[in-house]
């Protein structure tokens, strides 16, 4: 494998802007900083209109009962939410465990991880781009549960180093996706939670098509295959923003039958994951990452009415 090239001039300029923005946010109170970020985020919806059509088309497809005005509201709020998540991620790196937990209104299901750890075992956690996935991992670590997060390499190496350092400071172990297979077995034996974001799938990733809001959505198989092969329980985790600005972490076990048929069992896990993700997206549709084309890749046999709406 060839060595990754160093940062370009564009990478350095982007990173300088990021650090300047982080410095500016650090001068403000938490509420003012995140509200400012949210306001900036809405500019990408209007007037800039970056991926606005993608977001609106997907929201309308997922929620056909919404009026066009309601679709626009959810879309606009999704931009506000995404910008707030970005700002919070910058600010979280300055907090210790107690500071992270002060931004949580509650955690449901942590006892599942505690029980696994007491038995000398770990667990696999699946999540998606809903709520704030970064604080979910940080709150788990702050609660005394070792958590390893599997991530892809970012395009800007300076951004990548910055975010990796921030995650480490919050108690998370960062694992590159290319190392996930060999790392997961060891981490589970050591009683760690291993977390995967799997509501996005690229061209060359082994995947299955599962139902998401009634349409087939390509979903990576790897974590489910690991769970079957290693005999690990699988959980879903999500941190949703509450009206007061804090987050509530929900941890649910994805209970599926282990039949001994690997393909069948993997499909069962992925379908349970997608149903649970959809359930939480329905609870807070404005907190989902609608700017990503979730249904971009589908089977050729998909009927016209269920194809990618974008």
* E strand intervals along the chain: 104-108, 123-127, 147-151, 172-176, 193-197, 207-212, 215-220, 234-241, 247-253
Long-range contacts of 29-36 (CB under 8 A, 24+ apart): 30/91, 30/245, 31/245, 33/87, 33/91, 34/84, 34/87, 34/88, 34/91, 34/245, 36/87
**Nearest-angstrom CA–CA distance, 33 and 245:** 12
Edge-to-edge strand ranges of the sheet holding 123-127: 104-108, 247-253, 234-241, 123-127, 193-197, 147-151, 172-176
Buried b (16+ CB within 10 A) or exposed e, 126-140: bbbbbbbbbbbbbbb
Low-confidence ranges of the chain (pLDDT < 50): 1-2
The predicted pLDDT at position 6 comes to 84
Residue 35's CB is within 10 A of a number of other CB atoms, namely 16
pTM for this prediction: 0.94
DSSP, res 194: E
Are the C-beta atoms of residues 285 and 66 closer than 8 Å to each other? no
Give the domain ranges of the chain.
9-306
Secondary structure of residue 261 in the 3-state scheme: coil
Residue whose structure tokens are 């599926």: 256
**Gap between the terminal Cα atoms of the chain:** 36
Are the C-beta atoms of residues 12 and 158 closer than 8 Å to each other? yes
pLDDT, tens digit, for every residue of 252-271?
999 999 999 999 999 999 99
pLDDT, tens digit, for every residue of 43-62?
999 999 999 999 999 999 99
The predicted pLDDT at position 2 comes to 47
Angle of helix 222-230 relative to helix 262-283, nearest 10 degrees, comes to: 120
- Cβ burial of 6 (10 Å; 0-12, 13-18, 19+) is exposed
């Amino acid at each position: 494998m060839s060595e990754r090239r160093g940062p370009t001039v564009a990478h350095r300029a982007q990173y300088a802007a990021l650090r300047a923005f982080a410095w500016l946010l650090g001068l403000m109170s938490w509420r003012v900083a995140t509200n400012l970020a949210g306001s900036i985020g809405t500019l990408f919806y209007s007037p800039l209109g970056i991926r606005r059509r993608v977001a609106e088309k997907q929201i309308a497809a997922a929620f056909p009962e919404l009026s066009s005005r309601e679709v626009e509201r959810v879309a606009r709020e999704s931009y506000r939410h995404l910008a707030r998540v970005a700002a919070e991620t910058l600010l979280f790196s300055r907090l210790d465990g107690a500071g992270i937990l002060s931004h949580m209104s509650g955690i449901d299901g942590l006892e599942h991880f505690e029980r696994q750890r007491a038995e000398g075992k770990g667990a696999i956690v699946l999540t998606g781009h809903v709520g704030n996935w970064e604080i979910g991992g940080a709150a788990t670590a702050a609660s005394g549960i070792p958590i390893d997060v599997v991530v892809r390499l970012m395009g800007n190496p300076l951004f990548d180093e910055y975010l990796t350092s921030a995650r480490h400071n919050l108690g998370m172990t960062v694992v590159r996706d290319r190392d996930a297979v060999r790392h997961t077995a060891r981490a589970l034996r050591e009683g760690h939670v291993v977390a995967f974001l799997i509501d996005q799938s690229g061209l060359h990733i082994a995947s299955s098509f599962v139902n998401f809001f009634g349409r087939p959505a390509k979903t990576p198989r790897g974590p489910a295959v690991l769970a079957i092969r290693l005999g690990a329980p699988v959980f879903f985790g999500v941190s949703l923003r509450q009206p007061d600005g804090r987050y509530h972490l929900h941890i649910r076990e994805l209970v599926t039958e282990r039949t001994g048929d690997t393909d069948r069992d993997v499909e069962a896990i992925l379908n349970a994951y997608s149903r649970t993700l959809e359930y939480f997206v329905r609870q807070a549709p404005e907190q989902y990452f609608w700017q990503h084309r979730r249904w971009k890749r589908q089977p050729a046999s998909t009927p016209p009415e269920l194809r990618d709406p974008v």
